[in-house]
Structure 1
Amino acid sequence: MADSSSPKPTAGSNTPNDTGFIPGDDTFTKWRNIFTILTGQMSAEGRQQYLDAKDIRDEAADCRRCENHRDYLLKYSPVIRFLQDNIKQLGGDISNHNVYCRRCPQRQAGGFDPDFGIKICANQVRTQSHLEDTIAHEMIHAYDHLRFKVDWHTNMRHAACAEIRASSLSGECRWATEFFTRGQWKLTQQHQECVRRRAALSVSARPLCRDEKHARQIVDEVWDSCFRDTRPFDEIYR
Structure 2
Amino acid sequence: MTRPPAASDAPFSDSDSASFRRSFERWRTAFTQLAVPATSPLRCDQQQPTWDQGTIMQEMKPDTEKSDAERKRDAADCKRCEKWRDELARDSPIVRFMLKHVSLLPPPPGSTMPSPEHSQTPHLPIPITCAPCPPTMAGGYSSEMGILLCQNRFMSRRHMEDALTHELVHAWDERRFKPKGAWGEDLRAHACTEIRAENLSGDCRFNREFTRRNWHFTKQQQACVRRRATLSVAANPNCKSKEEAERVVNEVFESCWPDTRPFDEIY
Offset of 1:106 from its aligned partner?
A: 5.3
Change (3 A) 1:7 1:218: farther
Contact 1:107 1:124 in 2 (8 A): no
Contact 1:99 1:120 in 2 (8 A): yes
Q: 2:176 aligns with which of 147, 152, 159?
A: 147
Taking the aligned partners of 1:158 and 1:77, their CA distance within structure 2 comes to 28
Query: Which residue is equivalent to 1:76?
Result: 91
Count of aligned pairs between the two proteins:
194
Q: 1:105 aligns with which of 134, 137, 140?
A: 134
Q: TM-score with structure 1 length normalisation?
A: 0.75
User: After superposition, what is the alpha-carbon deviation per residue over 1:200-229, rounded to whole angstroms, capped at 9, x for unaligned?
Assistant: 000000011112111111100100000011
Query: Which residue is equivalent to 1:236?
Result: 266
- 1:182 matched to 2:212? The reply is yes
Query: Which residue is equivalent to 1:125?
Result: 154
Structure 2, unaligned runs of 5 or more: 1-47, 53-59, 108-115
Query: Which residue is equivalent to 1:169?
Result: 200
Aligned-residue CA RMSD in angstroms? 2.3
- 1:160 matched to 2:217? The reply is no
- 1:90 matched to 2:105? The reply is yes
* AA matched with 2:83: N
Contact 2:102 2:125 in 1 (8 A): no
Query: Which residue is equivalent to 1:5?
Result: 62
Change (3 A) 1:10 1:146: closer
Aligned counterparts, 1:39-50, within 5 A: none
- 1:116 matched to 2:116? The reply is no
Contact 2:139 2:167 in 1 (8 A): yes
Offset of 1:57 from its aligned partner?
A: 5.3
Offset of 1:96 from its aligned partner?
A: 7.7
Offset of 1:97 from its aligned partner?
A: 6.5
Change (3 A) 1:182 1:4: closer
Contact 2:103 2:125 in 1 (8 A): no
SS of the counterpart of 2:218?
Answer: coil
Query: Which residue is equivalent to 2:80?
Result: 65
Taking the aligned partners of 2:134 and 2:202, their CA distance within structure 1 comes to 25
SS of the counterpart of 1:101?
Answer: strand
Taking the aligned partners of 2:67 and 2:208, their CA distance within structure 1 comes to 37
Q: 2:233 aligns with which of 179, 203, 212?
A: 203
Taking the aligned partners of 2:65 and 2:106, their CA distance within structure 1 comes to 43
Contact 1:70 1:96 in 2 (8 A): no
SS of the counterpart of 1:125?
Answer: coil
Q: TM-score with structure 2 length normalisation?
A: 0.67
Query: Which residue is equivalent to 1:215?
Result: 245
Structure 1, unaligned runs of 5 or more: 12-24, 26-53
User: After superposition, what is the alpha-carbon deviation per residue over 1:69-126, rounded to whole angstroms, capped at 9, x for unaligned?
Assistant: 0000000100011111111221357828711000123520011112211011111111
Contact 1:152 1:159 in 2 (8 A): yes
